[in-house]
């Protein structure tokens, strides 16, 4: 597995680990200290705010796990990958795609912007 894939999967562990202490260790290992996180329900969170957000979101779905479902396309310190939320019964919720930016040396994620669900249908002209 590439170092970028390991990095993204460590970020996912930051959602999935059972304790707040473990989640924080994974998130702080995968993200730069000044990283930001944005998704449809979260506006430009700092790392500390993201940790609170993860705790809130995942505590509403006990046993759920964020699972990466695609490879990671990267170019010029940018990347994208798909994910979904796997439930304890083996079913999954509609997923999304995360767009990420990496630090200059590629060792950490400095920005995450997530989108939920499939692409919107094109409007009628």
Residues that bind a copy of itself (CB under 8 A): 1-2, 5, 38-40, 43-44, 68-73, 75-76, 78, 80-82, 97, 99, 113, 115, 119-123, 125
Beta bridge partners of 74: 79
Q: Which of helix, strand or coil describes residue 1? A: coil
Q: Say how many C-beta atoms besides its own lie within 10 A of residue 52's C-beta.
A: 12
Minimum Å distance from CB 83 to a copy of itself?
10
Identify the CA nearest to 66 among candidates 35, 95, 109, 27: 95
Q: Output 20 or 43, the one with its CB closest to a copy of itself.
A: 43
Rounded to a whole number of angstroms, the minimum distance from the CB of residue 3 to a copy of itself is 13
Question: Minimum distance between the CB of residue 69 and a copy of itself, rounded to whole angstroms?
Answer: 6
**Beta-strand pair 92-102/78-86:** antiparallel
Question: Considering beta carbons, is residue 34 or 43 the nearer one to a copy of itself?
Answer: 43
């Amino acid at each position: 597995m590439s170092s970028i894939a390991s990095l993204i999967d460590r970020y996912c562990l930051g959602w999935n680990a059972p304790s707040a202490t473990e989640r924080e260790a994974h998130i702080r290992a995968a993200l730069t200290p000044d990283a930001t996180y944005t998704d449809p329900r979260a506006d430009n969170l700092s790392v500390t705010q993201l940790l609170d957000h993860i705790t809130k979101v995942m505590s509403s779905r006990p046993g759920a796990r964020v699972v990466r479902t695609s490879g990671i396309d990267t170019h010029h310190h940018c990347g994208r990958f798909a994910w979904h939320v796997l439930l304890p019964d083996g079913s999954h919720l509609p997923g999304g795609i995360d767009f990420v930016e990496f630090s200059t040396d590629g060792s950490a994620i400095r920005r995450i912007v997530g989108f939920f669900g499939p692409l919107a249908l094109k409007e009628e002209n």
